[in-house]
């Protein structure tokens, strides 16, 4: 039962606070704390240069190096714990890796630091940090997140903590620097400079947070704009489809009407022709019968009988009038075909003309420019665009210079290479850049100049432009 009780005890009570492992050859120093013999020996060997010896846990100092008293009872107890298989070493994840800040006090395999002290300029694991929670003097120290940059707080020249800040040179310094190479400079404590910069930081953060709120508001507005664009586009597509469907139905109705009229006229004409055909066929039958009778009469040998029957047989019935018969193969309804073709051609012309207007209307929808119209030059400059001139379009009587940003009418024709986009009839030149959305530009000129915005498909021999302004001299501003 006694052994079971020891197994259930807190295993850390039998660990060395230096190596954090089970005590090996435990010794007890005058303050009552126990360590591995080699651990405390190595620790005091490091402190021997300062001629001060202290306890790693309670920081009690000794003027002379204490004698290490072996703790027989602890040694026996640790041996018993080892026999039970109890291990006091921390888990692997507690040890410091290459990217971790290691405890500066641990010997052997070091543990991850829990915090760093800006006064001691040392990083401590949880075990070695305990004195900072207990000792009155250590409680005043400034503890921060573990840092590998503690040595950057030490002045490389005087090996002192840099607690001052030189505003003249904008760098951290130690007190000795302030009375040495930084003498006469505007120096303050690092804490005072931090307070000042902290205020500036807060102002900057407020500005950033305000900008974040403004941008988030803009994002929401843009999202609403997207939804409005989508909704408007969907409605327009729906309405357009409905209109085109109605147009198709109208054309189909007209096609059906024309078809019905043609069939009706076809039926009337065919009926009239068949009626005439039947009369002619009846007349043919009658004539054939009459011919047979006359043939038979011609063979009668009795002269008296021939003369008696001839008057009645020789009389012919009235002939059917066939003067209206006019054979026109496949050309009876050619006028209808011509009329329908004419309608088709007119409709194509209308659709072609109106389609251009529809395309331009769709292209010129400027949904993102719902902002107020700019009024001042500063507001216009937000939409400024850099304009350069395209040498492939320049008339040969124009000289381009200053990086193709200046055009001058000259008396000597320039030797530009042939190009299909080149203006030949007008002293003109186009810009390389396309103007899309809202654009603003400024032009300096001398003499009489025309500034215009042209369609992209402007012909090299024509002048097809809009928003054209004739200017004689001075400084021009324009926007689209």
Q: What is the pLDDT of residues 299-339, one digit of tens each?
A: 888 888 888 888 877 777 777 666 656 666 556 678 888 88
Q: 314, 335, 361 — which closes off a domain?
A: 314
344 located within any domain: no
- Judge whether 377 and 384 are in contact, CB under 8 Å: no
383: nearest Cα among 436, 430, 450, 429: 436
343 belongs to a structural domain: no
Domain end, chosen from 314, 345, 367, is at 314
Instruction: Provide the CATH number for the domain around residue 413.
Output: 2.60.120.920
Contact indicator for 476, 443 with CB cutoff of 8 Å: yes
Q: Please check whether residue 294 is in contact with residue 314, taking contact to mean a CB–CB distance below 8 angstroms.
A: yes
Dist CA 92 CA 105 (whole Å): 18
pLDDT of amino acid 212: 92
Q: Residues 212, 277: one domain?
A: yes
The answer to whether 409 and 427 have CB atoms below 8 angstroms apart is yes
5 pLDDT tier (thresholds 50, 70, 90): very low
For residues 291 and 268, what is the distance between their CA atoms, to the nearest angstrom? Answer: 34
pLDDT in tens, 39-84: 888 888 877 777 778 888 877 888 788 887 787 777 777 777 766 6
Q: Say yes or no: 152 and 126 in one domain.
A: yes
Domain span at 242: 199-314
Q: Are residues 177 and 207 in the same domain?
A: no
Does 258 fall in a domain? Answer: yes
Indicate the length of the chain as a whole number: 480
Tell me if 117 sits within 8 A of 142, measured CB to CB.
Answer: yes
- Do the strands 61-62 and 53-54 form a parallel or antiparallel pair, or are they unpaired? antiparallel
Alpha-helix residue ranges (DSSP H) falling in 86-189: 126-129, 131-134, 136-139, 175-178
Looking at the structure, do residues 149 and 224 belong to the same domain, yes or no? Answer: no
CATH label of the domain that carries residue 179? 3.30.160.60
Those residues with Cβ within 8 angstroms of residue 297's Cβ, 6 or more apart along the chain or in another chain:
306, 309, 310, 313
Tens of pLDDT, residues 91-113: 556 888 888 889 988 887 888 89
CATH of the domain at 78: 3.30.40.10
Report yes or no on 280 lying in a domain: yes
Q: Please count the structural domains in the chain.
A: 4
For residues 57 and 39, give the distance between their C-alpha atoms in angstroms, rounded to a whole number: 13
pLDDT at 463: 45
Residue 7 has pLDDT above 80, yes or no: no
- Return the percentage of the chain with pLDDT > 90, whole number: 16
From 172, 191, 210, the end of a domain falls on: 191
Q: Could you tell me if 472 and 401 lie in one domain?
A: yes
Mean pLDDT of all residues in 142-164: 83
Do 222 and 163 sit in the same domain of this protein? no
> Would 365 be classed as within a structural domain?
no
Residue 339 lies in a domain: no
Phi/psi at 129 (nearest 5 deg)?
A: -85, -15
Tell me the pLDDT band of 11, cut-offs 50, 70 and 90.
low
Please indicate, yes or no, if residue 46 is contained in any of the structural domains.
yes
């Amino acid at each position: 039962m006694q052994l079971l009780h020891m197994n259930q005890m807190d295993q850390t009570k039998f660990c060395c606070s230096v190596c954090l492992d089970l005590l090996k050859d435990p010794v007890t120093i005058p303050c009552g704390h126990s360590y591995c013999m080699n651990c405390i020996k190595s620790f005091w060997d490091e402190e021997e240069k300062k001629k001060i010896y202290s306890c790693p846990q309670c920081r009690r100092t000794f003027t002379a190096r204490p004698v290490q008293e072996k703790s027989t009872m602890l040694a026996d107890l640790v041996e018993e714990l080892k026999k039970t298989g109890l291990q006091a070493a921390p888990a692997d994840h507690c040890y410091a890796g290459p990217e971790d800040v290691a405890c500066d006090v641990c010997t052997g395999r070091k543990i991850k630091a829990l915090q760093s002290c800006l006064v001691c300029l040392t990083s401590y694991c949880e075990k070695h940090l305990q004195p900072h929670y207990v000792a009155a003097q250590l409680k005043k120290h400034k503890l921060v997140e573990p840092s590998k940059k503690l040595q950057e707080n030490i002045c490389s020249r005087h090996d002192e903590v840099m607690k001052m800040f030189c505003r003249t040179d904008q760098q951290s310094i130690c007190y000795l620097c302030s009375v040495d190479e930084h003498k006469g400079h505007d120096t303050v404590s690092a804490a005072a400079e931090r307070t000042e910069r902290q205020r500036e930081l807060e102002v900057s953060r407020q500005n950033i947070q305000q900008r974040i709120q403004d941008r988030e508001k803009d994002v929401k507005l843009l999202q609403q704009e997207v939804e409005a664009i989508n909704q408007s586009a969907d409605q327009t597509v729906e309405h357009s489809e409905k209109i085109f469907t109605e147009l198709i139905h109208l054309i189909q109705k007209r096609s059906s009407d024309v078809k019905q009229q043609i069939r009706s006229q076809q039926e009337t004409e065919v009926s009239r022709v068949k009626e005439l055909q039947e009369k002619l066929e009846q007349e043919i039958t009658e004539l054939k019968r009459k011919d047979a009778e006359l043939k038979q009469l011609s063979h009668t040998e009795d002269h008296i009988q021939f003369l008696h029957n001839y008057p009645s047989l020789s009389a012919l019935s009235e002939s059917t009038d066939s003067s209206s018969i006019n054979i026109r193969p496949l050309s009876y309804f050619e006028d209808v075909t011509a009329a329908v073709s004419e309608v088709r051609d007119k409709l194509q012309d209308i659709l072609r003309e109106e389609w251009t207007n529809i395309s331009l209307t769709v292209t010129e929808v400027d949904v993102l420019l719902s902002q107020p119209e700019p009024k001042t030059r500063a507001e216009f400059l937000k939409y400024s665009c850099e304009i350069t001139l395209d040498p492939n379009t320049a008339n040969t009587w124009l000289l381009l210079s200053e990086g193709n940003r200046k055009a001058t009418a000259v008396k000597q024709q320039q030797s530009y290479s042939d190009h299909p986009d080149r203006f030949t009839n007008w002293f003109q030149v186009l810009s390389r850049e396309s103007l899309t959305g809202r654009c603003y530009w400024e032009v300096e000129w001398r003499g009489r100049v025309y500034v215009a915005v042209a369609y992209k498909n402007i012909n090299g021999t024509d002048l097809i432009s809009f928003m054209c302004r004739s200017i004689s001299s001075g400084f021009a501003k324009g926007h689209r």
